[in-house]
Amino acid sequence: MRFQYNYTRDELKSAISALSTAAKSSTGVLMMRFRAAIMWASICPVDDQSPMEAFGIALHLLPRIAWIGLTLVEQRALLGEIGSVVRDAVSAAIKAKELETAVEWVEQGRSIIWQNMLGLRSPLDDLRRAHPKLAARFQRVSQKLEGYRSNKRLSADADEVTLVDVARKSSRLATEWEGVIDEIRRLPNFEWFLGAKRFDKLACVAVDGPVVILNVQRSRCDALALMPGKSKDSKASVTHIPLANFSQERSEELSRSLTKLLISAGVRFRDSRKSERLGAVATDENFAEILSILWLQVVKPVLDGLGYQPRTDNLPRIWWCATGPLAFLPIHAAGLYDTDKVGEKLSDYVISSYTPSLTALLEKSQPVVQDDFQILAVAQPSTPHAKPLPGTVHEVERIEDLASGLYIEALVGEDATVDRVLESMKKSNWIHLACHGEQDLRDPMQSGFLLQDGRLTLSIITREPMPRADFAFLSACQTATGDQKVAEEVMHLAGGMLFSGCQGVIATMWSIEDDDAPKVAEDVYKHMLKKGQPKRTEAAHALHGAVERLRKSNKRFVSWVPFIHLGR
């Protein structure tokens, strides 16, 4: 467009007017409206206008562009094209000092695929009480749509006609589903049904400690910390901490460096063969440099901004919600590791957890432990067509010893088939999977756990809810690796377990060693099963201690850094 290169003030104003009209058109093509809103936002600063209205329209359209009528592959492709729009919008809101809006926009633009899928399983208690017939209709359409989206009705050799027919039916159902939602939203007290959450609904996630959003954008980087109220009746607040010495370019450099480092270290599968982990000295030096940059330019400024001091016991909790390239970096391990001085590592100040979104932390109270509490423990010591993992058997045996007073279903070796494991997951409160894990870079929903007769994929796991699930320990490789094309979507196995009902998950960012996993698992369950009482809320504390012991046993960075905790 002409104004981009040689424009007059009148031409600029005409362009803004035309773009704003196009973006607001109720009859326009959604993608055209979205692109118009983004162009409108990009030129507003040139005319000294605020881009907030333009970004607000763009983010409102975002879920409708990657709408539920598309396949997961199509949604992922669209979100990958859209790229950094959400981070640009959040940056603009921070610059305008509209911090609560910035928090709302972060959430609105994260985990859209998961949000679409969760919408099909939305609790309907309030709607059912007020409008039972409409609730039943919504539930019926949701169940049909989820059935088509999971391809339950397709065989592996389904022909093209069948696939096209299912796609058409799925699209029609999605249109009907959105129509029912619009009808519900016209009712009193249901205006926000399945809509973007407002700040007052999100603020309560900070009840147990700060939730820190790290926004990476080409012109600025910032931290937004949701802080708990000082009393039960006081409102949560947002603290803004500029990351003045950090940049998007630096985050991309660190992400590339980490990827190269992990490739050179040979950490791809859980394996006991140390000989494949090459270049130990060089790898550790490079790793230490990455962690020191994260410490000096990201994490320490946040701790200083929040007024945190190092402690030797009773460490407080903190949650990290990172965007862009930072989502793939080990923030929890940031620190200076060439010194033993207390106060130079994040682990001296807090116990870290991650969250894929703020919604993932909502309404997560600890359930009452049922009399029929069940733990599923899976071990795959010799998976067909994969390297042996002899340590998995000992890992499950130690869990059985530590939980001797509880019911444990142990599926080892040939007993650990895809169907048996999946059925047991539906009946279990805690789920422990000790096996090979793989992140599928081409189609993240095909990431999965390698079992006796095949792969238990993310698409299979998320097909049906697990109503009893409370906690999962994914003692496998690459269970929290994610998809770099859509950083904010958190498309990995740990995210899938949270979506399926787990409130807390222990997972790995890359491969783990077969002789380390049983040690970490034993330390974790010793803490979580004190006095024979299972306490999921102790998972983050338990992992913190277990990893610290592993680190102090002179283990290399690639061995202890990958273990992370997500959720409550």
Closest CA to 523 of 398, 410, 434: 398
* Whether 87 and 129 share a structural domain: no
Alpha carbon separation from 427 to 208, 465, 529 (Å, rounded): 29, 11, 20
Per-residue model confidence as pLDDT tens for the chain (568 residues): 444 545 677 888 899 999 999 999 877 777 889 999 999 999 998 888 999 999 999 998 887 777 655 666 777 777 776 768 999 999 999 999 999 999 999 998 887 776 666 655 566 767 888 888 888 888 888 777 767 655 543 333 444 446 566 667 777 877 887 788 888 888 887 877 777 788 988 988 998 999 999 999 999 999 999 998 776 666 789 999 999 999 999 999 999 999 999 888 877 555 543 334 445 555 788 999 999 999 999 999 999 999 999 998 999 999 999 998 999 999 999 999 999 999 999 999 999 999 999 988 986 544 555 678 999 999 999 998 888 999 999 999 999 999 988 999 999 999 999 999 999 999 999 999 999 998 887 888 888 999 999 999 988 988 777 889 999 999 998 787 776 666 666 678 998 898 888 999 999 999 888 889 999 999 999 999 998 889 999 999 999 999 999 999 978 999 999 999 999 9
Which phi-psi region, left, alpha or beta, contains residue 532 (left: φ > 0; alpha: ψ -120 to 50)? left
| 8-state DSSP, 409 | E
Does residue 363 form part of some domain?
Answer: no
The residue range of the domain holding 423 is: 370-567
* Whether 293 and 440 share a structural domain: no
Does residue 361 form part of some domain?
Answer: no
* Whether 389 and 333 share a structural domain: no
Does residue 115 form part of some domain?
Answer: no
* Whether 87 and 127 share a structural domain: no
Alpha carbon separation from 348 to 28, 303, 309, 370, 506 (Å, rounded): 54, 11, 8, 36, 20
* Whether 219 and 265 share a structural domain: yes
Bridge partners for 213 per DSSP: 224, 321
Distance CA 295, CA 264 (A): 23
* Whether 129 and 213 share a structural domain: no
* Whether 477 and 410 share a structural domain: yes
Does residue 421 form part of some domain?
Answer: yes
Q: How is residue 242 written in tokens? A: 């500029």
Distance CA 568, CA 369 (A): 16
Does residue 118 form part of some domain?
Answer: no
**pTM tops 0.85, yes or no:** yes
Does residue 244 form part of some domain?
Answer: yes
Does residue 201 form part of some domain?
Answer: no
Kindly report the CATH number assigned to the domain that includes residue 385: 3.40.50.1460
Q: How is residue 29 written in tokens? A: 């093509």
Query: What does residue 351 show for φ and ψ, rounded to 5 degrees?
Result: -105, 120
Q: How is residue 344 written in tokens? A: 């130079």
Specify the amino acid at residue 304.
D
Of the residues 46, 77, 110, the one at which a domain ends: 110
* Whether 446 and 537 share a structural domain: yes
Q: How is residue 43 written in tokens? A: 């030129």
Of the residues 185, 219, 234, the one at which a domain ends: 185
Closest CA to 445 of 73, 70, 119, 66: 73
Does residue 192 form part of some domain?
Answer: no
* Whether 329 and 453 share a structural domain: no
* Whether 541 and 394 share a structural domain: yes
Q: How many domains does the chain have?
A: 4
Distance CA 74, CA 78 (A): 6
| 8-state DSSP, 25 | -
* Whether 409 and 466 share a structural domain: yes
* Whether 166 and 223 share a structural domain: no
Distance CA 1, CA 504 (A): 49
